[in-house]
Structure 1
Amino acid sequence: MIFDKLKKFDIVFDSPEVDSPPVFSSGDVVSGRVILELSGDARVDSLKLHAEGFAKVHWTESRSAGSSTAYTQNYSDEVEYLNRREVLLQADNGEVTVVPAGRHEYPFSFQLPEETLVTSFEGKYGSIRYWVKVKLHRPWATVRKIKKEFTVIEPIDINTPTLLATQAGTKDKMARAWYRNFGQVSVTAKIDRKGYTPGEVIPVFAEFDNSTSRSIAPKAFITQTQTFIARGAMKQKHSIVATLCGDNVSAKCRETWHGRAIKIPPVGPSILQCRIIKVEYMLKVCVDVPGTSNLCLELPLVIGTIPLHPFGSRTSSVSSQYSVNLEWMRLAIPEQPEPPPDYCSVVTEEEAEQCNNTAAQQPADDLSGIMERPLLAFVQEFRFRPPPVYCEIDPNPQLCNIRPRCMTC
């Protein structure tokens, strides 16, 4: 039977690195092979490939309709990003194809859409997936299916003016407990840019002003917010991916962070272009105030895939800009000036001889009609004259032993 003859049925993607799975982006060519291994001759109707990519969301919510009744409402939606079909094996006349025993490889290749795709994602209430599905049709047998996913990462270049802009803000609040005021708490924070990549360190510059009669605890978080949208409803999932804790600020005191470092862990890039799924990041600089709600200042972040270019984009501080400028200055200006080229290497012997003959034909003392001669004639006459002799010794040195003249004399 055909079931006994089919030993292997698999999909293998072409990858430059053997141990790592391939990663694609919009416009890339996805290629690979469908491996079919048979223990004997088999009859096959067709072998078809279907490449798909969808963003899907789904969740349920229970609602009460009275004291004793309740119902469940489903929310779901999807967006299609890829849909391509290809026939790998099929007879032209529609008859059954006899595939001999052994190993057979059927290559496939297709190009992803040029328009912007969405990065692959797995969430609690939705996902963005891309896969290749292959169906093997055989007479008098069930259809065999195999499916293999591949990853799509849309590049986000942080070397853009929007993502290189400084993010800063100020926020304050009055600390109250019941009817009593403890004073005002304020926080001011700034980061050098909006775009970062995983593994980078964000230097946080902040100032915490505690005008209350209690100690406060400053801290900073990097949060991830997953937003799922379906049928006008929205579901969100919040998580903290990195934390930075500071020292307590005593009452009537002030604390300053001079670039406290918080490292971005290996998280997925931001997803901002999908209609039903969004992944956003935020840096929250917060203050825990005893007896009342916390004070939080939010600075938006974008996690990209293309890191900051050291020379093509602006750097993170004024000091680094100054050092880069000095390096370029050292490369542009040599330590010792080079002497000018020799006259013989610039003007050939024929040109010099021609210039001398022209000067000999003109009488030196005959100045009659000099005003009638065009200016270009004077320029051409001095064109190939040798320059003054180069010398590194100053011919007119300053005399240091000359006494200054008294104005009263």
Structure 2
Amino acid sequence: MPASKELTLTYNVLNDENTFSEGDTLTGRVTLTLAKDTKVKSLFVKVKGDANVHWTEGSGDDKKSYSAFRRYFKLKEYLIPQVSKDTVLPQGIHTFNFRIKMPQGNMPSSFKGRYGKIVYMLEAKMCRSWRMDCEVQTEFSFASKSIPAFGQLMFPQERSVEKEMGLFSKGQVQMAATVDRRAYAPGETVAVVAKVSNPSSQKMTPKFTLKQKVMYFANGSTKTSEKTICKMVGDVITPETEQTVTCPVEIPSDLGQTIHNCDIISVDYYLKVYLDISFASDPEIKFPLVIIPPGFSSVPQPGGAVGLYPPGAVGGPSNSDFPPPAVPVEPYPVPFGPGACRYPAAPDPAQQSDMRSGYNNPLPQQASPYAHPFSVFSSSSAHQQPPSAPPMFQQGDEPPSYMSLFPPSEESPTGSNAK
């Protein structure tokens, strides 16, 4: 009869999302069930965070593999220390409590993609002399709260585009669009407003698409994967009309965070607003979005600091080492429920403005502090406005990155099979 019948591992959750962050304390218990008295060399729990990427290209003799590995931390706590003489545990059930404080630092959130992943693992292992080790492990979700310049992500974005219709219809289509801010948590709603001027004889349909772009880096090469998260379609805009379209786009509750603090995996999101026109090039606007963890304030705190919900609030840690905020959060008002794009009532003529400027009160701009090297957009001229607020970008510009202060480091030669 084997000496060890069962080894189990459980941990205590801190919040409704079952996530941990920098500085949080991970607590739990290890239960060991023994069928007879057993000599144990050691028993310990281990917590680690690793990132891996791997892909292959080509075939046959031209086939080449790319891989990279990063370790962010590894912590170990002995429940039965390893000494010169084995420890004898009597028959029965033995329970050991553990408590491990997560390190501080700039570590990326959990992620699993097509060519790589960022995984945080909790493991318990019992070692016996002249016997195979008995171990059990479980993953836990890590939500990074390392977000520099958070307050600057809470300002609205405004962009505009103009397109000539081409051969089948004359005229220049103009579209100006805004979103209420740049940073969103899963489950929140992006309030999108698009103002369209259609002087042509063509009808067109406004569409709104939330996209994810993932880039993997290994051995000096890059692999890119892009997918559509959700898509919404508005009503047709008839020829020779001007209309304003409001479309609330809900961020899926299970959507992963933006990741720019891992040098082998980056995860970006953007919202594409475009006009679907038959037999013509579709005018489009792209807004970069930053997905932040639940529990962050939706309103910038004084001085641009990051605010958290108080313990016990929805999405906030109930047993966390992070300090509580000073001010609770009010959600951003959305005129319509998720899943519907609507045309609001005709605006007051006194409030209408020239389509080339986009809106009555255009937001001021200043030089951008962002310069992330891995961007999803190409560069062109920017919409110029007087400086005094965080930057807004004209269609075609390089979008900002909230992790521009942490550029990817050079690839290390570490193998992908590290333990």
How does the TM-score come out when normalised to structure 1? 0.68
Following superposition, the deviation at residue 103 of structure 1 comes to 0.7
Q: Choose 124-133 or 300-309, whichever is displaced more.
A: 300-309
Taking a change above 3 Å as real, the CA distance of residues 274 and 290 of structure 1, as seen in their structure-2 partners, is same
Q: Kindly provide the amino acid, as one letter, of the partner of residue 292 in structure 1.
A: A
Q: Kindly provide the amino acid, as one letter, of the partner of residue 45 in structure 1.
A: K
Following superposition, the deviation at residue 82 of structure 1 comes to 1.4
Please tell me whether residue 120 in structure 1 is matched to residue 116 in structure 2.
no
Q: Kindly provide the amino acid, as one letter, of the partner of residue 265 in structure 1.
A: P
SS in 2 for 1:135: strand
2:183 is aligned, of 178, 182, 195, to 195
Write the distance in 2 (CA, Å) between the matches of 1:217 and 1:158: 38
Following superposition, the deviation at residue 91 of structure 1 comes to 5.4
Please tell me whether residue 62 in structure 1 is matched to residue 58 in structure 2.
yes
Superposition pairs of residues 228-247 of structure 1, within 5 angstroms: 228-247=216-235
Please tell me whether residue 51 in structure 1 is matched to residue 47 in structure 2.
yes
SS in 1 for 2:166: strand
Write the distance in 2 (CA, Å) between the matches of 1:22 and 1:12: 13
**Contact 1:207–1:256, Cα closer than 8 Å, also in 2:** yes
1:152 alignment counterpart: 142
2:62 alignment counterpart: 71
2:344 alignment counterpart: none
SS in 2 for 1:162: helix
Please tell me whether residue 103 in structure 1 is matched to residue 99 in structure 2.
no
Write the distance in 2 (CA, Å) between the matches of 1:159 and 1:195: 11
1:210 alignment counterpart: 198
**Contact 2:14–2:20, Cα closer than 8 Å, also in 1:** no
**Contact 1:56–1:127, Cα closer than 8 Å, also in 2:** yes
Write the distance in 2 (CA, Å) between the matches of 1:247 and 1:90: 68
Following superposition, the deviation at residue 282 of structure 1 comes to 0.9
User: Taking CA–CA contacts closer than 8 Å with sequence separation of 6 or more, which of the two structures ends up with the larger relative contact order?
Assistant: 2
1:11 alignment counterpart: 9
Unaligned runs of 5+ in 2: 301-326, 334-419
Structure with the largest fraction of strand: 1
Following superposition, the deviation at residue 297 of structure 1 comes to 0.5
Write the distance in 1 (CA, Å) between the matches of 2:51 and 2:202: 49
Whichever of the two has the greater Rg, that structure is 1
Write the distance in 1 (CA, Å) between the matches of 2:157 and 2:14: 39
Please tell me whether residue 80 in structure 1 is matched to residue 68 in structure 2.
no
Structure with the largest fraction of helix: 1
Following superposition, the deviation at residue 21 of structure 1 comes to 8.1
**Contact 1:188–1:207, Cα closer than 8 Å, also in 2:** yes
SS in 1 for 2:33: strand
The CA deviation string for residues 72-118 of structure 1, in whole angstroms up to 9 with x for no partner, is: 111111221111233221353x1122110011122222211111221
Unaligned runs of 5+ in 1: 64-68, 318-409
**Contact 1:13–1:22, Cα closer than 8 Å, also in 2:** no
Q: Kindly provide the amino acid, as one letter, of the partner of residue 78 in structure 1.
A: F
Write the distance in 1 (CA, Å) between the matches of 2:149 and 2:38: 56
**Contact 1:158–1:195, Cα closer than 8 Å, also in 2:** no
**Contact 2:107–2:146, Cα closer than 8 Å, also in 1:** no
CA RMSD of aligned residues (A): 2.8
Q: Kindly provide the amino acid, as one letter, of the partner of residue 129 in structure 1.
A: V
**Contact 1:281–1:301, Cα closer than 8 Å, also in 2:** yes
Taking a change above 3 Å as real, the CA distance of residues 115 and 183 of structure 1, as seen in their structure-2 partners, is same
**Contact 2:26–2:102, Cα closer than 8 Å, also in 1:** yes
How does the TM-score come out when normalised to structure 2? 0.66
Superposition pairs of residues 129-168 of structure 1, within 5 angstroms: 129-155=119-145, 160-168=150-158
Following superposition, the deviation at residue 35 of structure 1 comes to 1.1
Write the distance in 2 (CA, Å) between the matches of 1:62 and 1:236: 16
Please tell me whether residue 227 in structure 1 is matched to residue 215 in structure 2.
yes
**Contact 1:158–1:304, Cα closer than 8 Å, also in 2:** no
1:248 alignment counterpart: 236
The CA deviation string for residues 145-184 of structure 1, in whole angstroms up to 9 with x for no partner, is: 221222111237799431111101111222335xx66432
1:90 alignment counterpart: 81
Runs of 4+ off more than 3 Å:
155-160, 180-183, 309-317
SS in 2 for 1:131: strand
Write the distance in 1 (CA, Å) between the matches of 2:205 and 2:32: 64
2:33 alignment counterpart: 37
Q: Kindly provide the amino acid, as one letter, of the partner of residue 199 in structure 1.
A: G
**Contact 2:154–2:298, Cα closer than 8 Å, also in 1:** no
The CA deviation string for residues 273-311 of structure 1, in whole angstroms up to 9 with x for no partner, is: 221212211111101121133221101111222142497
